[in-house]
């Protein structure tokens, strides 16, 4: 039996990349996983299939975040499959790389709607479903605390806001034995980063050079950190921002 046997987990943005890595790891640890996706239904079903092929249990959950009523719709759909929740992982997010002088209000509002507003209201409306002793983990970014990268300003601002949310939420949910933490990846080899990360050997070497360990991160690197926080071993860690950049901030 896995360490999460009998637990139910929801991972947002779990159809690919870091989210898929987290969903698959929690599935291997025994949790039943709600694999949330926004638009990529086929990819989400592939994640579910991978979890089931490894002996786990999972189901897809399709709701586009950043739209009016998104939290209500997600929980309505979730309730059709499960009667409670033990682990909530806020992984879904969008980014932009645009100069300060070019980003417009629509793009700015969209970033905050998906990256900040959705996790806030998903948690607020889902708190009654979250069992005592549960876990909440938000996937932040090393960019919220590292050297300035102006073209990623708005994105970094959303992650800093998410960090404050998780820190303060730990005090709100703490009396119920629920831990709340942020995990901050650095550069990770995902399809989102592939367009620039894999443009050349030099781009890859430069990215690997940011890490003290001399390599680019993988989704499994982040998933394993999340797995620790949501397990019994992570019971005494809450309100914490965990640097999972591979030493990129040192």
Collect contacts of 191-196 with beta carbons under 8 A, ≥24 apart. Answer: 191/16, 191/17, 192/17, 192/95
pLDDT surpasses 70 at 37: yes
- Residue 9: beta bridge partners? 33, 87
Identify the structural domains of the chain with CATH numbers, from first to last: 8-188+219-237 (3.40.50.720)
Going through 91-141 in order, the beta strands assigned E by DSSP cover 130-139
Q: Helix, strand or coil for residue 243?
A: strand
For the entire predicted model, the pTM comes to 0.95
Contact 30, 5 (CB under 8 A): yes
Mean pLDDT on 41-54: 97
Contacts of 208 (CB under 8 A, 6+ apart): 214, 215, 216
pLDDT on residue 198: 80
Helices (H) and strands (E) in the chain, counts: 9, 7
Going through the chain in order, the beta strands assigned E by DSSP cover 8-11, 32-37, 57-62, 85-90, 130-139, 179-185, 240-244
The Cβ-side half-sphere exposure at 40, using a 13 Å CA radius, reads 17
pLDDT surpasses 70 at 83: yes
Catalytically active residues, by annotation: 140-141, 155, 159
User: From CA 146, how far away is CA 150, in angstroms rounded?
Assistant: 12
pLDDT on residue 192: 79
Which comes out higher in pLDDT, residue 208 or 53?
53
Q: What are phi and psi of 236, to 5 degrees?
A: -105, 15
Residue 52 burial (10 A CB sphere; 0-12, 13-18, 19+): middle
Mean pLDDT on 24-44: 97
Contact 180, 169 (CB under 8 A): yes
Mean pLDDT on 219-224: 97
- Average pLDDT score, the chain: 94
pLDDT on residue 27: 98
Mean pLDDT on 27-40: 97
Using N-to-C axis directions, what is the helix angle for 118-126 and 70-78, rounded to 10°? 40
DSSP annotation of 2 reads -
Least confident of 16-25, 145-154, 200-209: 145-154
78, 33, 77: which is closest to 52 by C-alpha? 33
Most distant CA pair in the chain: distance in Å?
A: 54
Mean pLDDT on 119-125: 98
Contact 155, 104 (CB under 8 A): no
pLDDT surpasses 70 at 148: no
Contacts of 165 (CB under 8 A, 6+ apart): 116, 119, 120, 138
């Amino acid at each position: 039996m896995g360490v999460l046997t009998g637990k139910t987990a929801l991972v947002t943005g779990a159809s690919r990349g870091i989210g898929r890595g987290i969903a698959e790891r929690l599935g291997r640890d025994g949790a039943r996983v709600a694999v949330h996706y926004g638009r990529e239904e086929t990819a989400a079903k592939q994640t579910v299939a991978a979890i089931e092929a490894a002996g786990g249990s999972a189901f897809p959950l399709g709701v586009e975040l950043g739209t009016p009523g998104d939290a209500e719709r997600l929980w309505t759909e979730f309730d059709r499959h499960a009667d409670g929740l033990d682990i909530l992982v806020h992984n879904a997010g969008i980014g932009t790389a645009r100069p300060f002088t070019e980003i417009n209000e629509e793009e700015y509002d969209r970033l905050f709607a998906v990256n900040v507003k959705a996790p806030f209201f998903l948690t607020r409306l889902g708190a009654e479903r979250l069992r005592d002793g549960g876990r909440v983990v938000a996937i932040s970014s090393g960019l919220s605390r590292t050297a300035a990268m102006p073209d990623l300003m708005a994105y970094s601002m959303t992650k800093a806001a998410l960090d404050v949310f998780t820190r303060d939420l730990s005090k709100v949910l703490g009396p119920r034995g629920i831990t709340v933490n942020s995990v901050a990846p650095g550069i990770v080899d995902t399809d989102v980063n592939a367009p620039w990360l894999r443009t050349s050997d030099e781009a890859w070497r430069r990215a690997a050079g940011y890490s003290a360990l001399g390599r680019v991160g993988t989704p499994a690197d982040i998933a394993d950190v999340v797995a620790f926080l949501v397990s019994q071993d992570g019971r005494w860690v809450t309100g914490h921002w965990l640097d999972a950049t591979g030493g990129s901030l040192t």
